[in-house]
Each structure stands twice: as C-alpha cells, then as structure tokens.
Structure 1
Amino acid sequence: MKAIMLQGTSSDVGKSVLCTALCRIFYEDGWRVAPFKSQNMALNSYITRDGKEIGRAQGVQAEACRVEATADMNPILLKPKKDMVAEVIVRGEHYADMEASAYRNDYVPRALPILQESLGRLAEEYEVLVIEGAGSPAEINLKDRDIANMRVAKLADAPVILVADIDRGGVFASLVGTLELLDEEERARVKGFIINKFRGKFSILEPGLAWLEERTGIPVLGVIPYAMTGIDAEDSLALTSLQLKKQDEAADALKVAIIRLPHISNFTDLDPFYDEPGVTVRLVSSLADWKAADVIIIPGTKNTTDDLHWLKTTGIAAFIREAANEGRCVVGICGGYQMLGLTLHDPDGIESNHAKMNGLGLLPIHTTFQAGKRTVRVQGKVCTGFAEGCHVEGYEIHLGQTVREAGSSPMFALEGERTDGTITENEKVWGTYLHGIFHNRSFTRAWLNTIRTDKGLPVVQDEVEAESVRREASYASLAALVRQHLDMEKVYEIMRMTKSKRPMTTASPVDK
C-alpha cells in the first residue's frame, strides 16, 4: 500500500476537502483507494452501514473513493460535550466520556495499537491510502502525545504535504514557522506545500512562491483557488463560511432561521437550505440576530439539556414559542426535537446535572436519557400531512428515548414497523430523530412548497435533483478543480507511484 498524508498549518485550512479531492482523483486513475484519519475531533459524524460512528469527513471521503466507509477509516472520534470533556468513540462505538487530561495522560498511550491494527486492515484491502492530519503538527505542547500527525505518517511510512490557508493571511509565515517547529526527521517527511483558498491574481503571488521554495527547499505543488465545493464540512469552524454562501434575497423568498446552538452537531443537516431556490438562511445565536422568519430550525446538539437552558436564558426560547403561536413553522432535529417536547428527564446524569427540565412545550412528547447510544441508518415513508408516502432515509445518533402522548401523530413510518418523530395537528411544528432528513430533496421541496402555498406565494417547480446525483457531481467537479491546480505528476513521484490508468479489478461496494 502507498500512502500520502495531508497535514495543515492549523485547523480549517481545507485538509478534509483536499483529501476528498485526492480520494476521487486516485479512484478516477484506477486505484483502490481509501481515506484514513487516526483521531478526529468533530461534532459532524457519519454512520456506516454496520452502525458504526465515524467522522463525517471520512464518510464523505469514502464516498469519493466509491467504497463503503468503515470504522477503520477513523478509529478514534472525539465529540466535545462541554468544556474539557468529550465523548471518546473507538472503532465506531462509545468508549467513555473523558476529561481532556485523562484522555491525554491515560488513553492516548494505549491508542497506538488500535491505529496500527486499522492501518493494517486497510493495507490488506487497498492500494492507496489518503491520510488526513488534525490541527497542526507543530503544537509543541502536545507533540509527545500526538497520534494524529507525524507519528501516524511514520506508522504508515507516508510522505507529507503541508497545507496552508492563504485566505486567512500569513501563509508564508505559517508554512515556514511550522517547518521550524518540526524536528529533523519530521521535516524530512514534508515533500511539498499546497496553498489553499486563493482568490487573487496569481502573478502577484509568484514571487512569494519562489522565495518559499528557495527558503525551504520544498516545492509548492499547487495553489488551489477558493471555491464553494458542496462537500460536507468537518466541524463548526466551517459554520462561518455558510453565511457567505449566495442567498436568494428576492422579496418572496422563504426566510429560514437556524438556531446556532453552543453545542451544535451534525449541522450538515442544514446544507440543503442553501441549495434550495427561493430560500434565504440566517444563523441565530442571540436576540440581536433575530428577524421574523417563516421557518425556525433547532438542529442537533451534543448536549441537549445545556443548550435548552441556553435557549431559555438568552430569551430565544420565548421567541420560538411566540413564532409557533403565530403559526410559523418550527422544526427540531434530534436534540432539537427533544427540546420541543414537554419534559426531559436525565435521572442518571448522562448528559448533565439537569435531572428534569421542561421543554419548549410545542410537541406532546417526553424524553428520558438512557445509557446506550442508538447509531443506525434508517429509511421509511412520510406517514402524515404534506408529502405523505414520500420515501425518506437518514441516520440516527442519540441517547434519549422519546415517547409521544396518546393521540399524537408520528412523522415517519420506518422499516421494522417503527415510527419516528411527531407532528402537530396543524402541521406547523414537527420534529424527528432523523439526521439528513432535508437531504431527501423531494420531501424538502414538498414541505417548503406547502409553506409557500400557505403564504400565498408561487411554488417552486424546478426539477428536484437527487442527493446522490448532487454529491457525485460535487466529487467530480472538485477533483477536476484540484487536478487543474495541483501537480499530480509530482504527487505520484513523491509517492513513488506510476500514474498510469488501469481498470478497476472488481466493482466497489457502492457500485454494487
């Protein structure tokens, strides 16, 4: 197995997206390729077909490779729950909630064999591994316990490409400074630079590139232009960029307000609203952000009770209730769904010290938090109201068990004679445990058109493009963009590989 590793000068420099591009490029060139990230800290997760939970970035990268994602592709996932405490997920399953010091001092030394085993299994099945680092390899206070950057490159015997974000400024200082803080063996692994998110005139940048190569002796392999890629984001640092996406500001556009919870998770659930015609989106984190909205979304969260308390203390909860009373639409996803209920019970302190809380009181449901996380892909049909009978699919990641009061209506009928979610009689307030529900584009269009009709607005009749088609187009266009601006001949040379195309020997699991 050959490997290449992308490390960054900091978080959010675009490593995940560039790794996704390389995954698709190697696939297009005929190689059996897979992604790998040893340790990921992110609240956007992905559920594999066998019900394992990994970082969403590795799930997306596996899709770009056209293979089924497995827990080996991200053997350790950290999901922050509150300050200095995170859920530790090992090989796709809950391991423990740990404080940062306990994880660093007690668990990290035992993690290397787990990483080696995952690398070994991937090496048996794939020819090429695209490895993503985490944060920066030059965090000198953390290097003795680093299991995400140079130590992994050594385990996989992978050359390293260092990625820097020019859009945030200081790109040359960040690259040179990172190299200066690496030891000699680590610097020797760095075989090239990628400057990412460039938007400017290339001729102005060229003298700096020449200086950088002369100063370091390391080639700049590519300057990648800034682009909205349509690729799922890894963590909440990308929320800011969501606000930069082009909005439909027409007078008759539906206004969607998304509550930016302190512990927001799986916010990729919200991406379809940015693609939907006739919609404008606002992220709300305080009353100062509040404006009248046609739709209010309370997304998922890693700490439902703490974020519910935040909603109440900020005054946002009162605004949500008022909007519902005025007949506006309010929707909750996972933790947001739990918040819409009447009560939340946490007798064992699984989430926090809030043993019992009143919810927003907008849905006739009661939630009790219990040990044992449910992580599963699901599919079913809308069983009430708008879009009745429409096929939907998604995934569940939650600890709470929610019970509807007698006489209330479920939202979805799922496989295995299960139901999910709750919807009010007037169909204005509803909630579900299904992450990814809005990626069911026909369902989302039908729902939004119902709201348009209620407001006396014309419905959107544009053809609905399937999510799978959208994602494939995103992977293909991203790969084409990166091929244009990255010296792939040099990348193959660094990896000691030939670029010659050859047919895949067998169909990938996704192709099947």
Structure 2
Amino acid sequence: MAKTIMLQGTGSHVGKSILTTALCRIFHQDAMRVVPFKAQNMALNSYVTQTGGEMGRAQVAQAEAAGLEPAVEMNPVLLKPTGNACSQVIVLGRPVGTMSAKEYHSRYSRQALQVIKECLRKLHAEYDVIVIEGAGSPAEVNLKANDIVNMRIAKLAPAPVLLVADIDRGGALASVVGTLELLEPDERDLVKGIIINKFRGDISLLQPALNFLEQKTGKPVVGVVPYLENLGIDDEDSVSLDEKRADGGGEVEIAVLRLPTISNFTDFDALASEAGVTVRYVRQGETLGKPDLIVLPGSKNTTEDLLYLRRNGYDQEILRLVDAGIPVVGICGGYQMLGQEIRDPYRTESDNERVDGLGLLDTVTTFAPEKITHQVTARCISHGFLGLGYDETELQGYEIHMGRTEFTGPVQPAFTITSRSGQPCYHDDGVVRPDGLVMGTYIHGIFDNDKYRRAVVNALRVRKGLAPLATVTDIQAKKQANYDRLAKVVRKSLNMELLYRIMGVR
C-alpha cells in the first residue's frame, strides 16, 4: 500500500491544485514514486493522453511535477460544463453522456465511484505515495450524500487530510473553524493539519491567529504558504483568468476573446511567456482595440459562444479589423466559428440546430455524437499564415472536438497531421485563407512548439516594422524550472517533518 496525503479546502480556488503540484514535486525530488489523484474534477481546461483519453489540466501539471506521463487513472471522472447546469461526463477519458447536475449527483456519481475505487487500487499497487486533491469544500452538506471526491475518498484511500484555507480572500480562520464544525466526528478526525495559503505580509503578525487556531481546533498548522505570483503553471479553471491581467508593456499585443465557456485557454500561456508579447483576454464589455493578432479560443459550447459574440457586437468588430488587415486565428471551437455555418443536428452541445458562422473561412462544421481525442504530430510546410514560409515536420499537439469540418471549396490546409495516438496517418487539418490573414486549426497546444511560436511572433513583429528575435524559449524547460521554484517555496513554508509523520513516512 502506498502512503497517502489528501488536500481538501475550505472552498473552491483556495490553492489545492497548486499545493498538490508542489507536494508531487517535493516527493519526486525526495526520490519517491509519487502520483497525483483527483477522483472527480470539474473543468473546461483538459488534455489528451498518449492513449487518447481526456483528463483535467491540473492533474497533467501534477503528473509532470511528479515526473510522470499523464494517465486518466489520475483523474477518472471529469465534468465539463456545457451551460444550463449541465455537464459532459467523462469517465476514464471517454464521454459517457451529458447530464444535469441533479441527474449526475442522484443517479450516476455512485456508479462512477466503482471506477474510482479501481483506479485507487491500481495506484496503490504501482506507487510509493499518492497525493490526493479534493474539490470545493467537504462541508457542502447538500452534496455530502453523493460525495465521491472529498471525505468519502479520504476514507477509501485511506488518507490523512490537510485542510487548506486562502487567507488572501479574508475570513480564513472562520472558514477553517466553520468547515471543521460542519464535518461529522469521524471526518473531523481525518483532518490532521491545516495549511494557510496565499499569505502576504509579516508572518510574525499572524502568529497569534495561528496559536488561536490550533487551540480552538486541536489541529496543528502545518505551514503558511506565501502568495505566489507568475507561477507559470497550467490553470484548469477560468476563474484564474481574472488574475491574468495584461501589463500592456509588450511590443506585440494578442487579444483573446474570453468566451463564456472558454476552454483550453492554456493554449496561449506559452505566447504570454514570450518577451515582448502581451496576451490580453477581452472580457464582456471591453473592446478588441487594435491588437496585432486576434484569437478565437476553444469553447465547450461553440454555438452559444458564437451567439455571445453576436449579441455583444464582437462579430462585426472582428470583421472590421480583419478588413483592416488584422490577422485572426481560431483554435478548435474558434476555428469552427470562423466558417460559414455550424450545424448541430444531434443537439450535441446545445439546442441550436444551426448557427451562421463569421464567414471568414470556406468551411461548414457539423457536430457528431462521437468525440475525437488524440495526441497528434503534424507538419507545417509554408502554409502562408502571416506570410510565413516556415517549415516544420514534428509539431506536437492534441485534438478534442465533436465537430467535423468540411471545406466548401479548394483551401490551403494549415497543417498535415502525420500521426494520431501514435498511429501514422495523413490528414489535412485546418485552413489558411489565401491572403494569409485568417487561420483555423483543431490542434490544441500548437503554440507550445517553441520554433513555430517564435516564427509566428516574429511574423507579427515584422508586420509592425520591428526586427525579428532570434531567441527561442524552451517552454518545457521553463515549466520544469517553475515546478522546482514552486517546490522550493512550499518546502520552506511547510513543517516537512510533521507532514512526513502525518503520512507515516518517518
């Protein structure tokens, strides 16, 4: 049996995912075979594994921090909200249907629990340590009967629990005391310590509060973790976009439409990390301005998000800017929006049977009942977007889409996919408009390819009369350095000897 530790929170967005990532890296550095686990995740930011399974982005980052290839057993249940209190339910990487919150919690969640148990058994057999992340708060009394992610998992694992509170938002002490008070006695006994997260200021001024907390709850404070900015680690929740405020200092500005059901916005993190580049997320009510590049990102409800663009006048703003020579790129759902029409005869994503597209590409997309999910390799041979004469034969990325896009006339493909889930193939992907101003593709992660990203940024620079840059950022090396930086801060902030005793490691 592996040793275990579980991080639960006093609420959502208190930092459980980042702290789980940190612990995975710390235990990996300490030569342990460590694996992350989150029984059920709700997120629109997802990833495709080598075997073609879909899982939450946070567990992917945690796996990378642990030195592992991501696998769906680390996140057996993924819920992807589609709007109207419904979510697509994905189990072991494959969609099993779209369900209302009531239907899922009352009928399906306990069925999914059997899959979760099998995954835990597998991980116990293969690893030394399992770092488990909960979701939301374990004190949600209305959800407790059908809980498959918090205290029921702590009992199944079994795992000692550390309760995480976010002091930056205020009320941390009350949230800790209140959460413990609402737990059943046996659940309260599972909580072996408290972590105060996102602290700013002089910790000596906080010490009286920590002493009070320990006396009041009988639980030790395992550590106080400072507020960490610019971590450069993938987020899974669009709430984190509120913290991604553009500094406006870049020579090249990229405007990304923040759609109501935006998905896989991590596609643009690598662009934001480039020197001289500002990535600005355009929120409702804000104008696009005059960026150097417009991006239509992925969407979990493409037709509804397209109608959102129309209601807010962004469709006409995009068309005017393209007519003025501003380029636009669409990824996945954004690619579908760029075409002539989107059809959804099976009501796969919404009740909209058909919606007119932006008309910038000669394509028509029809949603199918089956989802395509693959890791892919692709090549790019002078596709002409932004006038690029760039050639690359080993681009990496992944596909996640229900739509099937057909061309209504002769087109220039953006890429040629040469393998899917490790199997050789030859498949044209995406479209580049003849004038080089509009490109659409189904390949997520295309800008994570260092040389391609540099080529695109340099093309934008040249269009502005700026000199191209020779420096190519190694985004994977940068990620690994960020995991090390995170681990260093968290290791210093926690009482590691106490943590190891709680886990029974020492």
TM-score by length of 1: 0.94
> Does the alignment pair 1:399 with 2:396?
no
- Is the CA contact (8 Å cut-off) linking 1:387 and 1:443 kept in structure 2? no
| SS of residue paired to 1:280 | strand
In the TM superposition, 1:231-250 aligns within 5 A as 231-243=233-245, 247=247, 249=249
Q: 1:310 aligns with which of 302, 308, 311?
A: 308
- Is the CA contact (8 Å cut-off) linking 2:274 and 2:473 kept in structure 1? no
**Which residue pairs with 2:12 in the alignment?**
11
1:329-365 deviations in Å (ceiling 9; x for gaps)? 1111100000001111112221222222210011111
**For residue 283 of structure 2, what is the amino acid of its counterpart?**
S
**For residue 346 of structure 1, what is the amino acid of its counterpart?**
D
| SS of residue paired to 1:49 | coil
Identity %: 50
| SS of residue paired to 1:194 | strand
In the TM superposition, 1:238-387 aligns within 5 A as 238-243=240-245, 247=247, 249=249, 253-383=251-381, 384-385=383-384, 386=388
Measure, in 2, the Cα distance between the counterparts of 1:40 and 1:137.
Answer: 14
| SS of residue paired to 2:148 | coil
- Is the CA contact (8 Å cut-off) linking 1:287 and 1:316 kept in structure 2? no
- Is the CA contact (8 Å cut-off) linking 1:248 and 1:278 kept in structure 2? no
**Which residue pairs with 1:131 in the alignment?**
132
How far 1:271 sits from its partner (Å)?
Answer: 1.1
- Is the CA contact (8 Å cut-off) linking 2:414 and 2:439 kept in structure 1? yes
**For residue 341 of structure 1, what is the amino acid of its counterpart?**
G
**For residue 108 of structure 2, what is the amino acid of its counterpart?**
Y
Measure, in 1, the Cα distance between the counterparts of 2:139 and 2:284.
Answer: 36
**Which residue pairs with 2:421 in the alignment?**
none
Measure, in 1, the Cα distance between the counterparts of 2:310 and 2:107.
Answer: 37
1:157-214 deviations in Å (ceiling 9; x for gaps)? 1000011111111111111111111111111111111111112111211111111111
Of 107-116 and 15-24, more deviation after overlay is shown by 107-116
Measure, in 1, the Cα distance between the counterparts of 2:252 and 2:70.
Answer: 36
Q: 1:464 aligns with which of 467, 472, 481?
A: 472
1:467-494 deviations in Å (ceiling 9; x for gaps)? 2211111111111111111111111000
**Which residue pairs with 2:22 in the alignment?**
21
How far 1:288 sits from its partner (Å)?
Answer: 3.1
| SS of residue paired to 1:417 | strand
Of 195-204 and 384-393, more deviation after overlay is shown by 384-393
Measure, in 2, the Cα distance between the counterparts of 1:259 and 1:12.
Answer: 23
1:270-307 deviations in Å (ceiling 9; x for gaps)? 21232111122222123434322111111100000111
- Is the CA contact (8 Å cut-off) linking 1:346 and 1:369 kept in structure 2? yes
Measure, in 2, the Cα distance between the counterparts of 1:289 and 1:207.
Answer: 47
In the TM superposition, 1:78-117 aligns within 5 A as 78-117=79-118
**Which residue pairs with 1:443 in the alignment?**
452
How far 1:248 sits from its partner (Å)?
Answer: 5.0
How far 1:407 sits from its partner (Å)?
Answer: 2.3
**Which residue pairs with 1:409 in the alignment?**
412
- Is the CA contact (8 Å cut-off) linking 1:259 and 1:297 kept in structure 2? yes
Q: 2:391 aligns with which of 386, 389, 412?
A: 389
| SS of residue paired to 1:288 | coil
| SS of residue paired to 2:233 | coil
How far 1:446 sits from its partner (Å)?
Answer: 0.9
- Is the CA contact (8 Å cut-off) linking 2:225 and 2:494 kept in structure 1? yes
Q: 1:473 aligns with which of 481, 495, 499?
A: 481
RMSD, matched Cα? 1.3
Are the structure 2 counterparts of residues 141 and 168 from structure 1 closer, same or farther at C-alpha, using a change threshold of 3 Å?
A: same
| SS of residue paired to 1:168 | coil
TM-score by length of 2: 0.95
**Which residue pairs with 2:66 in the alignment?**
65
In the TM superposition, 1:152-231 aligns within 5 A as 152-227=153-228, 228-231=230-233
How far 1:455 sits from its partner (Å)?
Answer: 1.6
- Is the CA contact (8 Å cut-off) linking 2:110 and 2:148 kept in structure 1? no
| SS of residue paired to 1:177 | helix
**Which residue pairs with 1:33 in the alignment?**
34
- Is the CA contact (8 Å cut-off) linking 2:91 and 2:112 kept in structure 1? no
Measure, in 1, the Cα distance between the counterparts of 2:461 and 2:232.
Answer: 26
Measure, in 2, the Cα distance between the counterparts of 1:93 and 1:413.
Answer: 25
- Aligned residues between the structures: 493
**Which residue pairs with 1:431 in the alignment?**
440
**For residue 419 of structure 1, what is the amino acid of its counterpart?**
D
Measure, in 2, the Cα distance between the counterparts of 1:418 and 1:249.
Answer: 39
Measure, in 2, the Cα distance between the counterparts of 1:170 and 1:459.
Answer: 49
| SS of residue paired to 1:130 | strand
**Which residue pairs with 2:422 in the alignment?**
none
Q: After TM superposition, what 4+ stretches of structure 1 lie above 4 angstroms from structure 2?
A: none
Measure, in 2, the Cα distance between the counterparts of 1:373 and 1:429.
Answer: 26
Q: 2:431 aligns with which of 422, 425, 434?
A: 422
- Is the CA contact (8 Å cut-off) linking 2:414 and 2:432 kept in structure 1? yes
How far 1:465 sits from its partner (Å)?
Answer: 2.2
**Which residue pairs with 2:43 in the alignment?**
42
How far 1:241 sits from its partner (Å)?
Answer: 1.2
- Is the CA contact (8 Å cut-off) linking 1:3 and 1:158 kept in structure 2? yes
| SS of residue paired to 2:391 | coil
1:136-173 deviations in Å (ceiling 9; x for gaps)? 00111111111110000000010000111111111111
How far 1:229 sits from its partner (Å)?
Answer: 1.4
How far 1:114 sits from its partner (Å)?
Answer: 1.4
Task: Identify unmatched segments of 5+ residues in structure 1.
Answer: 499-512
